[in-house]
Structure 1
């Protein structure tokens, strides 16, 4: 029986180490800046710069891989990421840190693209579901492991930075030692923004709002926890619990998604998220166990909006365009993740940490009004819909679209990074899903 863990151990282990470093670094920076009184706006700005680097890194990554190959570009970017992290121990300028976060996002996008294109090319079509599931486990497990590393080394000195640098440097080892055949060069193709906006506007809106919330979460959830009296270990546990909750909820929600109208499910998810976030507005003082409990529930609802919206969009887009669709959804998510931390950080700076979850509730209300099941006409619903729900991690590159088992045949032109093009005329404006 095919076992992706046995077949792709180097790629999965490299992913786990890379995400462990990234998760640890994001939480550490939020807590350290809070401790030093830098302000929530700076914390949000640093996270926004990272996501902006991810969005811009697609084009940079494509050219780097095309010029130097997969392993060489991965080694170069992992080396740059290690240097960037260590520079934080030598430089205390927040403006320079913001530039470094942008660079880190750009080089990590290249690393995502290398691993995902490698997995896609060497996984047979009937194996992609298992390969993608294994990749998702590695991503989420890495993020949780990063929180655990911070809990084991809670002092907000330079030691956590050394752990991050060790993770980023260590992810070089499994990839450099692999004996697997290198994948072929990547080919870029344009995004059809106009077409997808006409065809799946409700899915795009949901993805954008999910980006606003999740982008702000990774940067500002540690700040929220710290401002509520939690120490470093407790704050990292709080963030880890939220991530674990989202991971655990993906498969049960997928089972429900295959049996319930997905538009109504997104609205129900948004309604429950609005209610679940209310106790964390700061109007009442919650004990530690209640913060963890509410964090678990909100994490379940928050981290499942993205895969629900992806499943709804795939139900209304034909097979040949699904790779392009996934790239479009990831780009939309990235733009939301750039804006979310800045906006949330600015409001938290003036109105306190509870504003973070007030914003979560406000965004959820926006989704309740935006997602209108009655406006989904079914005009472009594909014959095999509803497609099987697939659990999706948000921290991926457009190359991960080709691993999605809903994509039966991968087109020769993989949508990676090219400038957007005008949508085609066959999109229907009344298909609002």
Structure 2
């Protein structure tokens, strides 16, 4: 791992700064929206547009890279991100924010795709799994760090919008000045949804549902915090706990995933998440109780996503990895767009508890569907399953495809060397 970090540190540093900027802007908008008096339903639309832009970027940016190249796309989209982060403070209304957040979602998707292609090209096949793990860890660390930077200023002022803009601008310096060559880039076609569903019904339905959970959790958590009267410090702690929970359980869940039926783990985590939400809705918890629940829900949403990808991977040929990952990301993206809007509608109708009710219903549906699928398809043995790999719901199809390919390659290597198990 040390050699991987040494060889890819410019990219990892750049991604860390990018994620700090991205993590700040999402939470900050929810807080500032409450200060500006923007209704919850309108803020939910603002939050959804990020995922709409991200989904469009996943479809359009590969073609842009093929036309004008990595460096131009990277620099152009990076400039857009930096400008948008400042413009948020200039035009504090929901219509302008919706347009700007759509642009920033599109742009972040583009810089992720470009950065991930550099990461793939800059590491050997033997080190790619370690490089991907380091990349995902850095992403999570960046978002967690971002939450505590929110306490450096007043969200009513300009400073908190300038800080992420500066960090994003700085993030491109180590990446663009590194000695890594510009990689070759191929656009992958998406596998048909019918073929993907036949390969893994649970994978398709699951990533749609968990996309809704993830986007509601990360898109609307600061909106919910502002609505229930949390301070900036409390909101930043609450949001950070979501990511810390997701980071803490990834490796234990990965260990279990390679030894037990993944559907049981998906069901178990979904039930734990749903029960935690029942506790939130029925009990009057203080801020520390809410923070613990946030960590539990974050510890559920992140590994379920990786488990669903690993489970789908078990029923795919290695040659289908790239096209399948594009299809799964599209399904997840549609669920992510819907999540904040439905959450905002519920919050407007039944109050702040609507934030939790939506996620609880989706997790319960996922547990029920996973249980039903267990009656329709036999369980795979641990030897028949592919490997599990750390992957975040914010990853693009390029990273997902590379992670799935690495998982299958690692599983194949273990079969050839059974004494390593």
* Alignment TM-score, normalising by the size of structure 1: 0.90
Q: 1:319 maps to what in 2?
A: 318
Within-5 A mapping of 1:266-305: 266-281=266-281, 283-305=282-304
Deviations, residues 142-166 of structure 1 (Å, cap 9, x unaligned)? 1111111113335332211101211
Gaps of 5+ in 2: 411-421
Other-structure match for 2:398: 399
Secondary structure (helix, strand or coil) at the match of 1:183 reads coil
Instruction: Sort the Cα spacing of 1:89 and 1:374 in 2 relative to 1 into closer, same or farther, 3 A.
Output: closer
Q: Distance in 2 between matches of 1:348 and 1:339?
A: 14
Match of 1:41 in 2: 41
Q: Secondary structure at the match of 1:188?
A: coil
User: How far does the alpha carbon of each residue in 1:71-124 deviate from its partner, in whole angstroms, 9 at most, with x for none?
Assistant: 221011100111112222222342122111111111111101101111112222
Residues 95/227 of structure 1: CA separation in 2 closer, same or farther (3 Å cut): closer
Tell me the equivalent position of 1:250.
250
Corresponding residue of 1:363: 362
Tell me if structure 1 keeps the 8 A contact 2:31–2:222: yes
Task: Summarize deviations over 1:284-336 as a string: whole Å, max 9, x none.
Answer: 32112111112112221122210111111111112111222222221111111
Aligned to 2:50: 50
| CA distance, structure 1, for counterparts of residue 171 and residue 159 of structure 2 | 19
SS, match of residue 90 in structure 2: coil
Paired residue for 2:161?
A: 161
The residue number in structure 1 matching 2:239 is 239
Runs of 4+ in 1 over 6 A off after TM superposition: none
Q: Is the 8 A contact 1:50 1:105 kept in 2?
A: yes
- Does structure 2 conserve the Cα–Cα contact (< 8 Å) formed by 1:119 and 1:403? no
Pairs within 5 Å for 1:25-424: 25-281=25-281, 283-371=282-370, 372-378=372-378, 385-404=384-403, 405-408=406-409
Q: Spell out, residue by residue over 1:341-396, the C-alpha distance to the aligned partner (whole angstroms, 9 max, x if none).
A: 000011111211111112221111111221124344259x6995211211111111
Query: Would the alpha carbon gap of residues 262 and 74 (structure 1) be closer, same or farther in structure 2, given more than 3 Å must change?
Result: same
Q: Distance in 1 between matches of 2:155 and 2:100?
A: 23
Higher relative contact order (CA 8 A, sep 6+): 1
Q: Deviations over 1:227-279 (max 9, x none)?
A: 33320011011100111111111100111111121111111111111101112
Q: 1:390 to 1:297 in 2, by over 3 A?
A: same
RMSD of Structure 2 on Structure 1 (CA): 1.9
Aligned 8 A contact 2:216 2:359 in 1:
no
> How far apart in 2 are the matches of 1:385 and 1:162?
51
Query: 2:34 and 2:284 mapped to 1: Cα distance?
Result: 20
* More helix, by proportion: 2
Distance 1:183 1:382, change over 3 A: farther
More off after superposition, 305-314 vs 324-333: 324-333
CA distance in 2, matches of 1:190, 1:212: 21
TM-score (structure 2 length as normaliser): 0.92
- State how far apart, in whole Å, the 2-side matches of 1:402 and 1:336 are: 19
Structure 2 Cα separation of the partners of residues 407 and 260 of structure 1: 17
Closer, same or farther: CA 122–102 of 1 in aligned 2, 3 Å: same
